[in-house]
Amino acid sequence: MATALVFSGQGSQYVGMMRDLHEQFPQAAQMLAVADGIMGVSLSTICFDGPVETLKETRYTQPALFVHEAVLATLLREKLPFHAAAGHSLGEYSALFAAGVVDFETGLRLVKLRGELMFRAGETLPGTMAAVVGMDDDKVRELCATLTSGNNVIVAANFNSPGQVVISGSADYLRSKMPDFKAAGAKLVKELPVSGAFHSPLMQSAQNELEKAIYAAEMRDASVEVYVNALAKPLRKADDIRAALVQQLTAPVLWTQSIQAMQASGVDTFYELGPGNVLQGLVKRTVTGTVTIGGFDTAEQVKTFSKS
């Protein structure tokens, strides 16, 4: 029996997130107060009251998710022992916090910078992303390679679950080529409401700046194995984790492969920490056999949980 914690990424946020945690747990309120100070804006107000357009800006979305997930990891620390961790894109930073690699303030400062750099990169080189559903993963990758030429970039960015891949690239060019994926057998091709071509070469400028901060930040070896997006394998050494974090910004998120690797290593229980339940659905579509899948988002879920 082994338990993994998984942490959600962008797209899971919602207006009202963390309000109940803030009201019912003094530790959550303290962490949010620290976050507001680091952000220089009232992140808590954006999370509690929106507007949704502001919360959806990646420079606020990423810190909001990290704080929510870090709060949950802190509140559940004594109640929920775990053996492995992973996070989807931004969620990887939350996994590193849970595994003791970074403290709360260090993690949030890195996430704040990451969100700002990705926001800026999206303004400089306009990009977008689209979900491709019902097409073989390797075929998606092959078609992306065929379509990429010069400044016209399309790459497979997120392998979310078998048959669900997100592509990323130059905004107008990717939109013009979405019918090609439908013609190649995809059941659905849908553009996502994002502000840039995340996990693609168009994030190179953001990666260059973030790398400096990652190598300057204090990090410790992980207390449990952290399955990283860029490699879909477990790491524990701080220097290995730094390199994977840098790589992550322009490399695909190997989420399907990470979940499969965790199950192969003996993980049979997955708990999602963060807003919503997107990862629970992805895990269900990826694992085989009998596993336990659950999640924590609200104060009520934290209060009523007891691990048998």
Tokens found for residue 285: 């579509």
Give 239-279 pLDDT, tens digit per residue: 999 999 999 999 999 999 999 999 999 999 999 999 999 99
Instruction: Write down the H helix ranges in the chain.
Output: 19-24, 26-39, 43-49, 52-55, 58-75, 91-98, 104-124, 137-147, 171-183, 204-216, 238-248, 255-264, 278-286, 299-304
Is residue 194 very low, low, confident or very high in pLDDT (cuts 50, 70, 90)? confident
| Residue at 247: amino acid letter | Q
Examine the fold and report which residue of 192, 214, 239 is the final residue of a domain before the chain moves on: 192
Report the pLDDT averaged over residues 111-130.
Answer: 94
Among 22, 68, 88, 199, the one annotated catalytic: 199
Is the pLDDT assigned to residue 116 strictly greater than 90? yes
Report the pLDDT averaged over residues 167-181.
Answer: 97
Among 8, 44, 89, 94, the one annotated catalytic: 89
Looking at residue 187, its pLDDT comes to: 97
67 plus 169 within the same structural domain: no
Looking at residue 306, its pLDDT comes to: 79
281 plus 136 within the same structural domain: no
Examine the fold and report which residue of 192, 218, 244 is the final residue of a domain before the chain moves on: 192
- What CATH number does residue 165 fall under? 3.30.70.250
33 plus 141 within the same structural domain: no
Is the pLDDT assigned to residue 307 strictly greater than 70? no
Is residue 213 very low, low, confident or very high in pLDDT (cuts 50, 70, 90)? very high
140 plus 256 within the same structural domain: no
Report the pLDDT averaged over residues 290-296.
Answer: 97
What mean pLDDT is reported for the chain?
96
117 plus 265 within the same structural domain: yes
Q: How far apart are CA 71 and CA 195, in angstroms?
A: 26
180 plus 280 within the same structural domain: no
108 plus 208 within the same structural domain: yes
19, 72, 203 from 22: Cα distances, Å: 5, 11, 34
Examine the fold and report which residue of 170, 192, 214 is the final residue of a domain before the chain moves on: 192
* Structural domain for 267, as ranges: 3-122+201-304
Yes or no: say if 125 and 152 are a contact pair by the CB < 8 Å rule.
no
Among left, alpha and beta (phi > 0; psi -120 to 50; other), residue 259 is: alpha
183 plus 266 within the same structural domain: no
Those residues whose C-beta lies under 8 Å from the C-beta of residue 53, and which sit 6 or more positions away, are: none
Told to judge if 22 belongs to the known catalytic residues of this protein, a careful annotator would answer: no
Looking at residue 127, its pLDDT comes to: 95
281 plus 137 within the same structural domain: no
208 plus 252 within the same structural domain: yes
Looking at residue 308, its pLDDT comes to: 56
* Structural domain count, the chain: 2
215 plus 299 within the same structural domain: yes
150 plus 298 within the same structural domain: no
